[in-house]
């Protein structure tokens, strides 16, 4: 059988882009991947991999190495700001995979990049798409390196500020939710073998183990008007915002001493209306549906998008059947994750006070273990 989608371009070398490149390469497709950065500079400190993310990564043979290089844990413990325990909440599991795995962002990048290269993906750094015409049976485009090419399919995996999305659908503005996330890598005490969430007054701190030696501290705060945070002052600003927390969170403040170690991100969301494609150019991950991190499912949804899209492409169906099947398998799931995450953010900001937070989180996490 002659493939309808022999030559495929992936735009963006983040989590979703590298996974879809690896998955398609394993299925025998010719895959080019362009990344606008000229060098791999990996932002962020660490990621939470819930069990569904690990199950999806297993499709490209990457789950085992993630577990070897990360730190698996089975539950979250919730505390009041003074350090008193509220409850322990074990997470659901898929097959042999743990409920959660924490991993350094750089380690995950190395694993996924190696997977894409092993699968034969041709990766071009410092390269952008400069023009794109998506037609009925192929896509014609120009690259910043001067090349003009034709592809059977283009996949936009270029993140929340996606140029591909803007090119296809016009400017689709992100929306600031009123909250921001602060993260910093720190040494892990031996007794932190679970995820911790510590609830303060309109803010929430957390600890996520990443390896035998490290963890990351997170802080979710309200930041009215999405103010500018000077990069040279991020350590001081984070320490100030940790006021009011007791116990280990207070003890960790003395380790936050360099501004460049702190990663600050306003929480922004975008949900592209159906469909997520124009002709034979389709969007995945944050380019289509960026969520807040309240459920730790943002990267997981991009990974699932990637393996599902690769699966339906490999079935060699006509394009309309391919994209319809992809949307049937993805839209309701990512919409559930985004909606629930935003509900949790609204609760934390004092809105929807009657929300049963623990029931919502439990229900959605169980739903996320259903097959994709």
- Secondary structure letter of residue 143 according to DSSP: E
- How far is the C-alpha of 4 from the C-alpha of 151, rounded, in Å? 11
Domain count, the chain: 1
Query: Is 190 inside any structural domain?
Result: no
| DSSP conformation letters of 226-293 | -----GGGHHHHHHHHTTT--HHHHHHGGG---GGGEEEEEEEEEEPPSPSEETTEEE-THHHHE--G
Domain extent for 282: 7-44+105-174+270-367
Question: Is residue 181 one of the residues assigned to a domain?
Answer: no
162 found inside a domain: yes
Give the CATH number of the domain where residue 158 resides: 3.50.50.60
Residue 338 covered by a domain: yes
Residue 115 lies in a domain: yes
Q: Give the pLDDT of residue 172.
A: 78
How many residues does the structure list for the chain? 372
Whole-model pTM: value is 0.97
CB 268 within 8 A of CB 290: yes
Residue 150: per-residue pLDDT: 97
Q: Computed from CA positions of residues 309, 312, 315, 319, in that sequence, does the dihedral angle turn out positive or negative? A: negative
pLDDT value at position 326?
98
Element (H, E) at 47: strand 46-50
* Averaged pLDDT in 10-residue chunks for the chain of 372 residues: 86 98 97 96 89 98 98 98 96 98 97 98 98 93 96 98 95 92 96 97 96 97 97 98 93 94 97 94 98 97 98 96 97 98 97 95 98 96
The confidence score (pLDDT) of residue 1 equals 52
Residue 89 covered by a domain:
no
Residue 124 forms part of a structural domain: yes
Within-domain flag for 85: no
């Amino acid at each position: 059988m002659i493939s309808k989608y022999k030559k495929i371009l992936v735009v963006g070398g983040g989590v979703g882009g590298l996974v879809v490149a690896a998955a398609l390469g394993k299925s025998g497709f010719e895959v080019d991947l362009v990344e606008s950065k000229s060098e791999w500079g990996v932002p962020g400190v660490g990621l939470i991999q819930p069990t569904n993310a690990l199950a999806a990564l297993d499709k490209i043979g990457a789950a085992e190495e993630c577990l070897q290089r990360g730190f698996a844990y089975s539950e979250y413990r919730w505390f009041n700001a003074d350090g008193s325990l509220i409850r322990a909440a074990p997470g659901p599991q898929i097959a042999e995979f743990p409920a959660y795995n924490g991993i350094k962002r750089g380690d995950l990048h190395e694993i996924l990049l190696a997977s894409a290269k092993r699968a034969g993906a041709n990766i071009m750094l410092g390269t952008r798409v400069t023009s794109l015409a998506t037609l009925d049976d192929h896509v014609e485009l120009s690259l910043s390196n001067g090349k003009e090419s034709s592809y059977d399919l283009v996949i936009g995996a270029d993140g929340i500020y996606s140029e591909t999305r803007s090119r296809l659908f016009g400017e689709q503005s992100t929306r600031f939710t009123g909250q921001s996330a602060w993260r910093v890598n720190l040494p892990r005490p031996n007794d932190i073998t679970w995820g911790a969430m510590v609830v303060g007054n309109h803010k929430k701190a957390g600890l996520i183990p990443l390896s035998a030696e490290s963890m990351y501290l997170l802080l979710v705060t309200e930041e009215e008007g999405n103010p500018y945070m000077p990069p040279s002052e991020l350590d001081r600003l984070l320490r100030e915002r940790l006021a009011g927390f007791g116990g280990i969170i207070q003890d960790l403040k003395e380790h936050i001493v360099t501004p460049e170690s702190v990663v600050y991100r306003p929480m922004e969301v975008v949900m592209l209306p159906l469909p997520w494609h124009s002709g034979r150019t389709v969007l995945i991950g944050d380019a289509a549906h960026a969520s807040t991190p309240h459920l730790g499912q943002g990267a997981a949804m991009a990974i699932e998008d990637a393996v599902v899209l690769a699966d339906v492409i490999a079935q060699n169906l006509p394009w309309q059947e391919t994209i319809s099947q992809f949307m049937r398998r993805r839209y309701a799931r990512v919409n559930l994750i985004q909606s629930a995450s935003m509900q949790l953010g609204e609760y934390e900001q004092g809105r929807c006070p009657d929300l049963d937070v623990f029931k919502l989180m439990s229900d959605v996490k169980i739903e996320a273990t259903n097959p994709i």
